[in-house]
Each structure stands twice: as C-alpha cells, then as structure tokens.
Chains A and B, each alone.
Chain A
Amino acid sequence: MKTATLTASIALFGLSACVARNPLLSYGPQPRVEDCTQIQQATPTKYICDGKQYTSVQLTELRHGTVAGK
C-alpha cells in the first residue's frame, strides 16, 4: 500500500512538472542572469555572459525582449 502511494505520488509530481514549468530550471531567451557571473554589485549590477559585459537592466530588457542583444 505504501509502495503504491509512493509510486502515485512520484507519478503525480512528474506529471505536475510536465504541466507547470519547473522553477528551478533555467529558461527564457539568452543570455540569462543565472548563467552569467556577477563581477560588480553596483548600480546597476554588472555581469559577464559569454565573455560580454551586461548590466542587470540590460539582462532584464533581453529577457523581456525589449532590446536587441549587446
């Protein structure tokens, strides 16, 4: 009985992962802030993504698709 409940729970969790986007995974247009490395906590914060420097504001605009990549 316990095994069946556990199996059902895992299946349900897996199914929910298919329905809703997993918040732990990285997604969206690149570059993404989680893939970049922070080099200075300033106003605005500065990041390096694939060797290029971006600010947090620029990364937000890229994520929203409101500006072309640098």
Chain B
Amino acid sequence: MKGRWQAALAAWGCFILLVSAQLVWAQDASSVSKQTTLWVDQKTGQVFIRAGRGRMPMTFGASPEQIEQEVEARTQQRTQDAVRAAVAETQAQQRFDNAQMQQQVDRIKPAWASYMTNFQNKFRLGALAYFDYSFYTHTGFGPQFLENMNPPGPYNNGYNSFDINRVYLNTYFTPTDDLTFRFTPELYRANGTATADRTGANTGFGSNLDGSLNVRMKFAYVQYTGLTDGISSLTGGNLTAGAQPNPLLGWEEDFSQYRFVYLSPWNYLGLSSSQFGLQFNGPIKPNGSEKTYLDYGIGVYDNGKFNQQEQTDTKQGMARLTAYPFGSSWRYQGLGLTGFYNYGYGNVAPDIGSVPTALKGPIAHFTRMAGIVSYAAQAWNLLGEFDYGQNAFQLNNLYSGSGPLDAFGTPTGTAITKGGWAGSSCAPAASGTPCYPTANTWGPQTAAYTALLNNGRARELGVDFLGHYHIPGTKLTAFGMFQWFMPNDNVNKDPLDFQRFVAGISYQYNEYLRFALDSQNLLFYHDQFSMPVSYLSKFGYVPGSKLNGQSVPKTGSIYNLVPLDTHAIFLNMEFAY
C-alpha cells in the first residue's frame, strides 16, 4: 500500500515538472545576444544588480557586433581553409598531370627513331669469310681447291701461303614478310697482266689490277615466298629472280657443311655457284604433313656464269628433285634420293655458235647430271653421288687453279728451229714455224688435252662420297670427301682421269668460328704413258698444227701425258655470322 502511494507521488512530480518547464529554442536570438550587466562595488567586492556609487559595470555575454565579427572571422577562416584545400588539391592534380605528361613525352619517339627501329627489323647484315693457310708438299697443275687459290705448278714443292678464299657481306632487306632482297658482294683475286697507264708525253704509272683482291657482285636477287602459300602441300615455295645460287650446289654445300674446306664435286669441275636467272624452289609436304617428302629446285639461267657476259641466244636449264621416302623432319634428315639435271650451251655469240662444224668444241652443248643417295642424322651424314656429263669439263676447268703457260698463250721450252721433228719441218719464227720440243715443255701435252676435253663429244663420268662424323662429347668432327672423275670416258685410257680426296678434322670454337686441319690431294692415277698422234686425231687433234706459234707433233706420239699430282696440307678457318 505504501509503494503505491510513492509511485503516484513520483508520477505527479514528473507531470508538474513537464508542465512548468519553459521551452527554449536552439536558435533563439534573444537568448544568444542578450547581455547581462552587474555592478561591482570596488571597495567591498559586492555585486549589485543596479548601478551606484563606487560600482563598476560588469557585462556578461557577447554583443551582436562581436558575434558578427566572430561569425565573419570564422567564415573567413573556413573559406580560407577551403581555398587552401582547393589550391592544394589543384596543385596535387597538376603535379599528377605533369607526371603523366612527362611519361607520355618520354614514350613519344622521334620519327627517325621509329624509322630506324623499322629498318632494323627489316634489314639484316651478315658476314662470311673463309681463310686458310696451305702448304703444298707437291705442286701440280689442276683445278683450284678453293676460290682465289692459284698455287704454282710442278717443281714448286714447299710452296705455302695464307689465303682469303671468300669474303661475303650478306645484306638482306625484307620490306614485307614474303619479299626478300639480297645483295652479296664478294672478294676475288684479280689475275691477268694489265698494261701500265700513261699520261702526257713522258709519264706513266704501273697497273695495280693484277693480283689485287677486288670486290665484285656474287648474289643479287629478289625472292618472293608467298606464291604457293595458298596450297598447304606447297607452302614454303619461293620464286627467285637475279643472280642466285643454283639448285644443286647450295643444297649440296649445306649438306656437306664443309664448303670452307672443299668444293663440292660439280663445283670443282666448273659448275658455278651463282647464275643469273629465274628459279623456283620449295618443299612438298603432302596432306598437311609436318615432314617434307619432296624438295625441288628448277630454273632457267644465262649460259654464262655470274662473272661472265652472256653471249648466247639460248639459255640453260637446271632442275633438282630430292625425295625423302620416309619423310624428313628437318632439312636433309633421314634417307634422301636426289636427281639433278643441267642442260645448256657454250657461252658464245650466235654468229659463232651457229656455224656448222664437225667438232663444235667449246661451243657445243653441255650436260651435267647427278644421282645422289644421302642420309643425314644429327651427329653424322653420308652422301654418295654418281655424275654424268657431256662437254662439262674442258681445258679451262682443268686449269682453273693453275696450268702451263702453253694453255694461256705462251710457249714453254726451247723451240726447235732447224731440221725436222715429229713429221714437221722446223725453222726460226722469222722465216718459218718453230717446232715444240720433246722435253721441258707442256705444249704438245696441252694440245692433246685440248683435243680430249674440248672436242665437243666428251663424256664425263664420276663417283663421289662425302660425309662427316661428330665425335661425341667433343668439339671435334671428322670429315672427308672422295671424288673419282673421268673427264672423257670415250678415251680408252685417259691420262686426265683423276681422284681427289680430302680428309681432316674440324674444331667448332663457337657458333661463328670453326677451324679445320686437313689434307687435300689431286691424283692423276694412271702410270705415265704416251699417246699416238693418230689416236689423238680421232678427238680433234690436228697433227702438225700450230699452238702458240709452234708446230705440235705431226707423227709419232706425245709423251708424258699424265700430269703430276698435287698434295697439300690445309688449315682452314670459317667465320660466319
């Protein structure tokens, strides 16, 4: 009962408190701006609500002016803060924008830089150089072992020299993915006597043409690779126009991998590695296969070589077809069967070439054929080749390295100038015709060789083997090449039948540098013998005719027809980039 009364009393108290409370609005200006002034007696310190003597007013609260000033000050402060913040933000943004701008500026490349970058991607420059040191234990006449090599002939044993066989500067320009331009100048040895120049009435200066290493064009062509890209089996076919490698030699040199040491068989015999013409090459991968089953090269070219002026009204053709019966995963891989055919004509002008003659000699047609069986693995390869030719190896090929003076217009030996010899009457040049002597000369032999090689009916046969084997775990590779060649198998016993063999070991220093130590040999393997003039006459030899102003034998035989052998030790170096 007592609790109820207490609760009722508390509720009543709360009601009275709520009713009696005065409402005060938060923004009531009167309550904010109202000032209260009291007066303080300065003596007693008493506070009064009215003014009086000795009382000093004491005011509480702010005046409207003060409030206005305060508000204005605060507003100004806030404004300044906002402005400062805005300025700071603007400055930060400015700094950010500047940084971005700088990055963009940094990224912007000048036009020339863009051009150079493009140029770099489309332009390649490579170098290829073959150097060697050769020591000839036995010197002899014959084809050159490598380019720019013209060692002296017989009786110069011990001759040795440092040589530059090849220097290429390969330049490739590829404006589009399917178009390539190549230009390759090469170094070559200029041989041949040049006459001195003269100026004025009494002044002359010597020629510097003979023996110099000059620069000439070796390859210059444009190659288009998109011709057969629409046919899946023929993808990779290319059309090449200009001075270019022929279908056989480039293929065979890449197979052998030792072009810096020796020439491939037909190259040694005179087939040039560069011809002017039009050629089509490519692989055949039937049914979208990853493997190559056929590889071909076919073209038409000038009869003259890249370093000769074309003179004919005909052209020569070449074709190579390689079949990989089991497919080839990479170039040359596995078993390969290759056929090569070349048919052309001697490089003479039509007004000479069209003259009917019994033996056309150097103006006759020529044929080169090769049947090749090859096998290539990563560590070794082997190639066997059978060669057949017609008029494809003539006197200038036999003496591409060096030959007797008689083959180049100057007689050797002491001429016989009186009496009779070998069926001819001999006399001094002033009053008649001297005769070639029987010894210490190559004149009659040169006449015989010319008959055997240049009669227009020569038929050549050859067999070749080449290959290499990499010795596992080393930088060494053993390599070799053997060539057996019969320059005219129509001759019962041809003194010019020869064998060439190269054997050596190579050292791969790095990706760009390779060395080889090897032995190179040319053997005219028949025992020495003579050949009757009557037999030579069947091949176009004219008994008693003139050679270099002297009579060659009219009767009897020509002696010592088998040339001397050549043996040499080579140290070769290859730089390729």
Chain A contact residues, CB within 8 Å of chain B: 23-26, 33-45, 48-51, 53, 56-57, 59-60, 63
- A34 is contacted by which of B126, B330, B475 (Cβ under 8 Å)? B475
- B378 is contacted by which of A26, A45, A50, A56 (Cβ under 8 Å)? A50
Closest chain B residue to A54 by CB distance? Answer: B511
Q: Tell me whether A56 and B254 are in contact (CB under 8 A).
A: no
Interface residue? B399 (CB, 8 A): no
CB-CB < 8 A to A36: which residues of B?
378
Q: Tell me whether B511 and A45 are in contact (CB under 8 A).
A: yes
Kindly state the separation between the CA atoms of A36 and B514 in the bound complex, as whole angstroms.
14
Q: Tell me whether B170 and A43 are in contact (CB under 8 A).
A: yes
Q: Are A24 and B474 CB-contacts (below 8 A) given A37-B378, A51-B330? A: yes
The prevalent SS among residues of A at the interface is mixed
Q: Tell me whether B510 and A35 are in contact (CB under 8 A).
A: no
Q: Tell me whether A39 and B332 are in contact (CB under 8 A).
A: yes
Q: Tell me whether A39 and B474 are in contact (CB under 8 A).
A: no
Chain B CB count within 10 A is highest, among A45, A49, A56, for A45
Closest chain B residue to A53 by CB distance? Answer: B330
Q: Tell me whether B475 and A24 are in contact (CB under 8 A).
A: yes
Kindly state the separation between the CA atoms of A39 and B377 in the bound complex, as whole angstroms.
11
Kindly state the separation between the CA atoms of A49 and B508 in the bound complex, as whole angstroms.
15
Closest chain B residue to A52 by CB distance? Answer: B330
- A41 is contacted by which of B254, B332, B333 (Cβ under 8 Å)? B254
CB-CB < 8 A to A53: which residues of B?
330
Q: Tell me whether A43 and B126 are in contact (CB under 8 A).
A: yes
B contacts with A, residue count (CB < 8 A): 33
Interface residue? B465 (CB, 8 A): no
Interface residue? B128 (CB, 8 A): yes
Q: Tell me whether A40 and B376 are in contact (CB under 8 A).
A: no
Kindly state the separation between the CA atoms of A38 and B254 in the bound complex, as whole angstroms.
7
> Which residues of B452-508 have CB atoms within 8 Å of chain A's CB atoms?
470, 473-477, 507-508
CB-CB < 8 A to B128: which residues of A?
41
Interface residue? B172 (CB, 8 A): yes
Q: Tell me whether A25 and B475 are in contact (CB under 8 A).
A: yes
Q: Tell me whether B254 and A40 are in contact (CB under 8 A).
A: yes
Closest chain B residue to A60 by CB distance? Answer: B511
Interface residue? B99 (CB, 8 A): no
CB-CB < 8 A to A40: which residues of B?
254, 331
Closest chain B residue to A25 by CB distance? Answer: B474
B566-577 CB mask vs A (1 if < 8 Å, else 0) is 000000000011
Closest chain A residue to B258 by CB distance? Answer: A38
Q: How far is the CB of A35 from chain B (nearest CB, A)?
A: 7
> Which residues of B294-341 have CB atoms within 8 Å of chain A's CB atoms?
329-333
Kindly state the separation between the CA atoms of A24 and B330 in the bound complex, as whole angstroms.
28
Q: How far is the CB of B354 from chain A (nearest CB, A)?
A: 41
Interface residue? B512 (CB, 8 A): yes
Kindly state the separation between the CA atoms of A45 and B172 in the bound complex, as whole angstroms.
14
CB-CB < 8 A to A25: which residues of B?
473-475
Interface residue? B379 (CB, 8 A): yes
Q: How far is the CB of B474 from chain A (nearest CB, A)?
A: 5
Closest chain A residue to B510 by CB distance? Answer: A33
- A26 is contacted by which of B253, B330, B332, B473 (Cβ under 8 Å)? B473
CB-CB < 8 A to A60: which residues of B?
510-512
CB-CB < 8 A to A23: which residues of B?
475
Kindly state the separation between the CA atoms of A62 and B525 in the bound complex, as whole angstroms.
49
Q: Tell me whether B125 and A43 are in contact (CB under 8 A).
A: yes
Given A25-B475, A45-B576, A60-B511, 8 new contacts (CB under 8 A):
A34-B508, A35-B378, A41-B576, A43-B126, A45-B511, A51-B330, A51-B378, A56-B577
Q: How far is the CB of A44 from chain B (nearest CB, A)?
A: 7
Kindly state the separation between the CA atoms of A37 and B376 in the bound complex, as whole angstroms.
9
Interface residue? B546 (CB, 8 A): no
Q: Are A56 and B512 CB-contacts (below 8 A) given A37-B378, A39-B330, A45-B576? A: yes
Q: How far is the CB of B543 from chain A (nearest CB, A)?
A: 50
Kindly state the separation between the CA atoms of A19 and B82 in the bound complex, as whole angstroms.
78
Closest 4 CB pairs of A and B: A43-B126, A56-B511, A34-B508, A39-B331
Q: Are A24 and B254 CB-contacts (below 8 A) given A39-B332, A50-B378? A: no
Q: Tell me whether A33 and B331 are in contact (CB under 8 A).
A: no
CB-CB < 8 A to B477: which residues of A?
34
Closest chain B residue to A50 by CB distance? Answer: B378
Q: Tell me whether A43 and B511 are in contact (CB under 8 A).
A: no
Kindly state the separation between the CA atoms of A44 and B512 in the bound complex, as whole angstroms.
9
Q: How far is the CB of A33 from chain B (nearest CB, A)?
A: 5
Q: Are A39 and B254 CB-contacts (below 8 A) given A25-B474, A34-B470? A: yes
- B507 is contacted by which of A24, A37, A51 (Cβ under 8 Å)? A24
Closest chain A residue to B170 by CB distance? Answer: A43
CB-CB < 8 A to B189: which residues of A?
none
Interface residue? B259 (CB, 8 A): yes
CB-CB < 8 A to B538: which residues of A?
none
9 A–B pairs (Cβ distance < 8 Å), ordered by A:
A24-B476, A25-B475, A33-B508, A34-B508, A36-B378, A41-B576, A42-B126, A50-B378, A59-B511
